Structures are given as structure tokens and as C-alpha cells.
Homo-oligomer: A and B are copies of this chain.
């Protein structure tokens, strides 16, 4: 068909990030190529995630369109999307009510993006990391059972590249290979719910490296563990893949529980 496989991400960053968008509402910008309602959606969603719109607060459509200088339909669309994420509920006569965070659809990539951009970044980061710890070993086991031949070969290749890059000092290249490794495992796991997490994992890994949170000792043990994961998957040994991946995540686990 006409769906080029080149664009293979787009899960977490629907738009090219707010590169130029200031915090100002900029009420009059009708000639924007980016959809008009996306701007409002981002603004309101981020406001809710950051806590500026606390739970229980009541908004109204008219307030929204006045605030952002948009029409009723746009405000309505925004509200509908937010309602889908369970960030708000809309009732007649009561308006739009911001919901408690415990009700949010915290797996929505857009919501994750907003939360990672907000003050509560650390909380979101910790949750995602713990999710990684839970999912990735089982995903590795699934990959050992269900990955395709090409995927197995590519995993072994990536593990070798990781080992090579770990000895050098190129952080960026190492990060890219690391992300590719973990993403490929998730996508090869044969479980679409695991595969759907690949965007989040890459955000977490990127964030970890960028923040310098990662104690950048690509220690031999960790690299060796990566290699064993790939080898176990290639051999179709699910149990070994799972336990090796647990070892990979061991230092991550230690770092996380130190904070908590």
C-alpha cells in the first residue's frame, strides 16, 4: 500500500516536539500548518499533567475557547480527546471536571510525553523504569520463543555492536544501539502489548543518558549479560533469555530502589 515503513516510530512524539512553541497562547495564528486543535490539546494536557489544573477543577468550553482563541468545535475536540484519556469527564451543566490522576490512562503515549515534560517527571520516570524491569525479562523469553530468524540474527549483531561501542567512548552511538537492542526485543516478543512499550523504553533510555543518571560504566558484566540475552534468544532458550535479561536490569533496579 502507500504506508511507507520508513517512519517506524511516531508513537511517543506525534509532532516534532514543541520546538518553537512558547508558553504564550498566541491566540491569533490561523495560518499554522500544524493542526489548530493539537496546540490546544497540548496546552491543556500539559497543564493537567503538571498539576496546574488540579483534580476536581472545573473548566468550561467557553473558558477554553476564550483562553486559546479558538472556536467551539476545537475546544470540544480537545475535551473529547482528554475524556478518552480519562483526564477529564464532561457532564452537562457541570462542565469539564479534571479527574484524579489515579483514573488516568497512564499508558497513553501522549500522556506519558506530557508527564515526562512536567515537574513530575521523576515520578513518571520511576514508574516507567519499574515497568521495564517487569516487562523486559518476560519479553525476552517471548522473543526466544517467537522471534523470527532475521530478528534473532539482528539481536546478536546488536549485542556485538554494543560490546564494541562499550569499549569505545561514543555515548550517543552506544545509546542508539542500546535503544535498538531493547526495542527489537520488545517488538520480537510476539506480544503486541509489550511491543507497544518500545517508545517509552527509548524515552527512558534517552532520558537516563541525557541526565547522566546512568552511572556510565558500561561494565563488562552488563555487556556480557546483553550478549547472553541475545545468544539465548538466538538459541530459543526462553528461560535463559529471561534470567539474563533480569541480570541486565539488575543495576537499573538497584539505582531505582536507592531513590525509592
Report which A residues bind B (CB closer than 8 A): 1, 3, 11, 56, 73, 76-77, 80-81, 84-86, 100-110, 126-128, 130-131, 133-135, 137-139, 142, 145-146, 190-196, 257, 260
Q: Is the CB of B108 within 8 A of A108?
A: yes
Contact A109 B100, beta carbon cutoff 8 Å: no
Do A106 and B138 have beta carbons less than 8 Å apart?
Answer: no
How many subunits of this chain does the assembly comprise?
A: 2
Task: Summarize A's interface: helix, strand, loop or mixed.
Answer: helix
| A3 and B142 contact, CB distance less than 8 A | no
The docked-state distance in angstroms from the alpha carbon of A106 to that of B131 is: 16
Whether B142 and A106, one on each chain, are in contact in the complex, defined by CB atoms closer than 8 angstroms, is no
Report A73 CB to chain B, min CB distance, Å.
7
Q: List 29 A-B contacts (CB under 8 A).
A: A3-B102, A73-B73, A73-B76, A77-B80, A80-B80, A81-B84, A84-B84, A84-B108, A84-B110, A101-B192, A104-B192, A104-B196, A105-B109, A106-B192, A106-B193, A106-B196, A107-B108, A108-B108, A127-B191, A127-B193, A130-B138, A130-B191, A130-B193, A131-B135, A131-B191, A134-B134, A134-B138, A145-B257, A146-B260
Query: In the complex, given contacts A3-B56, A81-B81, A102-B195, what are 10 additional A-B residue pairs having Cβ atoms less than 8 angstroms apart?
Result: A11-B103, A77-B80, A106-B193, A127-B191, A130-B142, A131-B135, A134-B137, A134-B138, A135-B135, A145-B257
